[in-house]
């Protein structure tokens, strides 16, 4: 018996069964929560006031959707904007989560990662940058010396070289990866807190 693709698909749908009311609520309200978190991050709306507009039964789905977005918006503090976004996302999560003590314990770890990233990490990045710059300058000098013989008065601006910029981005990613791994573990823990 040969079946059409449509018949096969319909059989699969029948095997899945119908969605439960709880699943339907999740499908409807998790995206609502995601939108709420986006509004909170962009416009600073009041999460408590916004949540109070929803019935008790759907609020957990709103909180789940909003919580996911807020957790995803916690990033390494590589700029003042990133620091402000982190603070806002973390404040919002603390508002949403019931277990404030667990949240604060994870925030302590995150702040430790951030402080290390800012203090020692900045120093590491500066040293790596200067080292890479010196290495590139030496390579270019050597290549030019072989081609031209004399380098009298030639100033080499390696920082504008595409190869230097590409290598620096790769090195930055490598340096940041250790912090990102630790931060990701903390974000996983945050997602697991109710």
Query: Average per-residue pLDDT in the chain?
Result: 90
Mention every residue, 6+ apart, whose C-beta is less than 8 A from residue 45: 36, 39
Dihedral sign (CA 78, 79, 80, 86): negative
Asked whether the predicted pLDDT for residue 179 surpasses 80, the reply is yes
Distance (Å, rounded) from C-alpha 54 to C-alpha 85?
26
Percent share of the chain, pLDDT over 90: 64
- 3-state DSSP assignment of residue 147: helix
pLDDT-derived band at 106 (thresholds 50, 70, 90) equals: very high
Q: How far apart are the first and last CA of the chain?
A: 51
| pLDDT tens per residue, range 125-160 | 999 999 999 999 888 888 887 877 766 667 778 888
The residue written with tokens 């959707």 in the block is 65
CA angle 133, 137, 143 (to 5 degrees): 150
Question: For the residues of 26-69, what is the DSSP string, one character each?
Answer: HHHHHHHHHHHHHHHHHH---HHHHHTTS-HHHHHHHHHHHHHH
Q: Sort residue 44 into left (φ over 0), alpha (ψ -120 to 50) or beta.
A: left
Tell me what pLDDT residue 108 has: 96
pLDDT score at 20: 80
For the chain, domain boundaries: 1-72, 98-194
How much is the pTM?
A: 0.77
């Amino acid at each position: 018996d040969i079946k059409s693709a449509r018949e096969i698909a319909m059989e699969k749908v029948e095997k899945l069964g119908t969605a439960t009311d709880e699943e339907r609520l999740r499908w409807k309200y998790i995206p609502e929560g995601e939108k709420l978190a986006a509004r909170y991050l962009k416009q600073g709306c009041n999460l408590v006031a916004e949540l109070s507009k929803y019935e008790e039964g759907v609020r957990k789905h709103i909180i789940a959707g909003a919580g996911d977005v807020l957790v995803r918006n916690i990033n390494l503090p590589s700029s003042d904007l990133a620091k402000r976004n982190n603070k806002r996302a973390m404040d919002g999560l603390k508002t949403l989560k019931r277990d404030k003590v667990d949240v604060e314990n994870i925030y302590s770890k995150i702040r430790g990662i951030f402080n290390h990233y800012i203090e020692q990490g900045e120093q590491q990045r500066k040293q790596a940058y200067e080292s890479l710059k010196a290495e590139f300058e030496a390579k270019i000098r050597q290549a030019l010396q072989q081609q031209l013989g004399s380098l009298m008065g030639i100033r080499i601006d390696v920082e504008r070289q595409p190869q230097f910029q590409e290598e620096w981005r790769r090195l930055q990613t490598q340096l940041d990866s250790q912090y990102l791994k630790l931060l990701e573990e903390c974000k996983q823990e945050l997602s697991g807190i109710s």
